Amino acid sequence: MSKKLKIGLFGFGVVGQGLHDIIRGQDLNLEIVKIAIKNSGKKRSLDANLFTTDHNEILDNTEINTIVELIDDADVAFEIVKRALISGKNVVSANKKMIATHLAELVELQAAHGSSLLYEGAVCGSIPIIRNLEEYYD
C-alpha cells in the first residue's frame, strides 16, 4: 500500500470546501490534517480544531506531507509553496498568478529538495494539458 497523503490545506473557499467534501465522501488513502483560513470568526460546519490561522502550524507539522494551496493572494501563496517545497513537502497549487510569476524558481526548488509541484489546475482552466505535453515531449 502506498504512503498515506496527509494534507495541509490552505484556503477554504468554494474550491477548498469542494475538495474537502470530495475527500470526505470517498474511501481514499488520504486525509486533510489541518486547514489554514483567514477569518477565524467565520462560522464553519466542521470541527474548529481542524482550522488554523497560523500558516506555521501546517508548514512546520512533520505529519503533513502534502500542501494544497488554494488562496487568492499570489505573494502569500508563493511564500507558502516555497517553504513547503524547501521542507520536502509535495505541493498542489491552483494559483495562476503565483505559478506564472515564480514557476522557474519553484521548479528549481522542487528538484533541489526532492519534492513535487503540481499546478495543472492553474493552467488552461484545468484542462489536463500539462500532463499531455509532458508525455508528448518525453
What is the enclosing helix (H) or strand (E) of 135? Answer: helix 129-137
- Per residue, the 3-state secondary structure of 49-62, as one string, reads HHEECCHHHHHCCC
Instruction: Provide the grid cell at 70.
Output: 488554494
pTM for the structure as a whole: 0.84
What phi and psi values does residue 131 have, to the nearest 5 degrees? -60, -45
DSSP string, 46-101: S-GGGEES-HHHHHT-TT--EEEE--S-HHHHHHHHHHHHHTT-EEEE--HHHHHH
**pLDDT digits over 55-106, tens only?**
999 999 999 999 999 999 999 999 999 999 999 999 999 898 999 999 999 9
**pLDDT digits over 6-50, tens only?**
999 999 998 889 889 888 888 888 899 999 999 888 888 889 999
Query: Nearest to residue 65, comparing CAs of 24, 108, 113?
Result: 113
Query: Nearest to residue 129, comparing CAs of 105, 121, 93, 111?
Result: 121
Q: Domains in the chain, please, with CATH?
A: 5-137 (3.40.50.720)
pLDDT of res. 82: 98
Instruction: Provide the grid cell at 49.
Output: 480544531
* Owner of C-alpha cell 470546501: 17
**How far is it, in rounded angstroms, from Cα 127 to Cα 10?**
22
